[in-house]
Amino acid sequence: MNSSKKIILHLVIRIGILILLLGLVFLFWHFTYDPHKYCDESGHKHVDGGLGFFILLFLITQMFYLALLIEMIYLFVKKNRILAFANLGFLIISLCIVSVCMFLIN
C-alpha cells in the first residue's frame, strides 16, 4: 500500500471514531432525555438537557484530542513520522474548525 493511501486510511479511521462517539452520545441523549420529567399539573418545570449534552460532547472531544496527541507522540517515538504528521495536521485543522465554530456561535 502506498503512503498516500495509508495516510488517508489512517485519517478516515480517526474521523470515523470521532463521528461514532459523537453519534452515540447524540442517540443516547435523544432517546433518554425528557424535558417534561419534572412537570406536574400546576406548571412546566423544564430541565436544561442541552447543557448536559454540550458538556458530554465537549468532554468526549477533549478525550479524543488527548488520545490523538498520545498516539502522535507514540508514532514519533516509533519512527513512523508520516502518520504522526498526519495526526498533527488533523489535530490542528480540527481544532481550528472547532474554535471558529465556537466564536461564530457566541
Report yes or no on 98 lying in a domain: yes
Range of 22's domain? 3-29+49-105
Q: How many CB atoms lie within 10 A of CB 47?
A: 14
- What is this structure's pTM? 0.71
Residue 92 grid cell: 490542528
Tally the domains of the chain.
1
pLDDT tens profile 50-67: 777 778 888 888 888 898
Residue 69 grid cell: 496527541
Confidence of residue 45 (pLDDT cuts 50, 70, 90): low
HSE (side-chain half, CA atoms, 13 Å) at 43:
1
Name the more confident of 65 and 36: 65
Report yes or no on 69 lying in a domain: yes
Report yes or no on 37 lying in a domain: no
Report yes or no on 73 lying in a domain: yes
- Asked whether the predicted pLDDT for residue 11 surpasses 70, the reply is yes
Residue 82 grid cell: 508520516
